[in-house]
Amino acid sequence: MHLFFANALIAMKQVVMLYIIAGLGLAAERLRWFPESTARLCTKLLLYVVTPCVVVNSFVNMEYSAEALRGLGISFACGALLHGVGILISEPFFRGRKNAATESVLHFAAIYGNCGYMGLPLARAMVGDQGVFYVSVVILTFQICSFTHGAYVMSGGVMGRRAPEGEQGVKFQWKNLLLNAGVLSVAVGLPIFLLQIPVPALVDTPLASVASMNSPLAMLMFGAYMSRTRLRGLLRSKKLFLTMGMKLFALPAVVMSVLLLCGVRGALLNAMLIPAAAPPANNTVVFAARHGRDSGYAAQVVSLLSLISIVTMPLMIALGLSL
């Protein structure tokens, strides 16, 4: 029990440090130094420049070994497991078409976690470069699942056919699956790791510098989003509590149980628990806007569940560290 609370304190310290940065973003938004509109404009910079640098940098800094190669394969399987479990346990509860503009948001939020913006910095703090390496592979499975099943969910199950009146359908395009920042950055970093291609300091140093922007920029943006959250209206939704229970408790508990049964321990288990226990992805807001859903509501859901995760994430991570 002492070990559990010690690990929970370590994990909570790392989470709280991230939220201190978010608090600065919230204050900057209130003072109109960094308004939400500006934060939204930074999304592409974070998505297409900073996060890919984080992923590639993790492959560059990972030494090749049989254990690392095995961990890469297992982490990909774990990422597929994470999203597969999320899809299976959420599907029975979000089949209705009533209030589709908000139900689609809650369904997406129950499955897809903040693997990149929150998962990567936590993995670095808790596990080191090895943790970033493993979580980077999980991001690949996130991209594959979110651009296929996630798009289907957010469009209300009308992808590829004509949408009912008042709804917006989206036809699936293979380029969205293959040509996105997560997949392309892994496609660049993976050969560097497998072939042990030397990266000169002229490239490695600026790569690492840009990668170091991930945590502060992402959390500043998140703080700006949080400033618009209205808790009173959100807490009236029963489906919101269902989403919270699934994403913050049920999903990490099931994934942890399966990994333990499969004999996964140590750094790999700890790294996998971080994206499993993470709150809903910031992409919930991006996908909501893209598919004609209520993006303002999506931002509020992500903000509220992220605040609650200050407590739930350290508990789940500590439980994994203690086993």
Q: Which of 3, 55, 24, 20 is nearest to 227 (CA)?
A: 24
Please give the chain's pLDDT, 323 residues, in tens. 666 777 778 778 878 888 888 889 889 989 989 887 787 788 778 878 887 888 888 788 878 888 888 888 888 999 999 999 999 998 888 865 566 678 889 999 999 998 877 887 788 778 887 888 888 888 878 877 887 788 888 877 654 444 444 444 455 556 666 677 767 888 898 899 888 899 999 999 999 999 888 878 888 887 887 776 666 666 677 788 999 999 999 999 999 999 889 888 888 888 899 999 999 987 887 778 777 787 778 878 888 898 888 889 888 888 877 77
Rounded distance between C-alpha atoms, residue 54 and residue 68, angstroms: 18
Q: What is the model's pLDDT at position 83?
A: 94
* Half-sphere exposure at residue 272, Cβ-oriented, CA atoms within 13 angstroms: 31
Angle at 321 between CA 317 and CA 323, to 5 degrees: 120
Backbone dihedral angles phi then psi of residue 280, each to the nearest 5 degrees: -55, 145
Q: Quote the DSSP letter at residue 166.
A: T
Q: Which residues, including other chains, have CB under 8 Å from residue 187's CB and lie 6 or more apart?
A: none
Amino acid (one-letter) located at 183: V
CA–CA gap between residue 128 and residue 58 (Å, rounded): 10
- Helix%, strand%, coil% for the chain, nearest 5: 75, 0, 25
Predicted model pTM: 0.80
Give the integer Cα–Cα distance in Å for 246 and 85.
10
Task: Name residue 184's amino acid.
Answer: L
Residue 174's pLDDT is: 62
DSSP state of 92: G
The DSSP annotation for 124-154 comes to HHHT-HHHHHHHHHHHHHHHHHIIIIIHHHH
Per-residue pLDDT at 173: 58
How much is the pLDDT for 161? Answer: 42
Cβ within 8 Å of residue 294, ≥6 positions away: 101, 102, 105, 288
- Please tell me the predicted confidence (pLDDT) of residue 164: 45
What is the 8-class DSSP label of residue 228? T
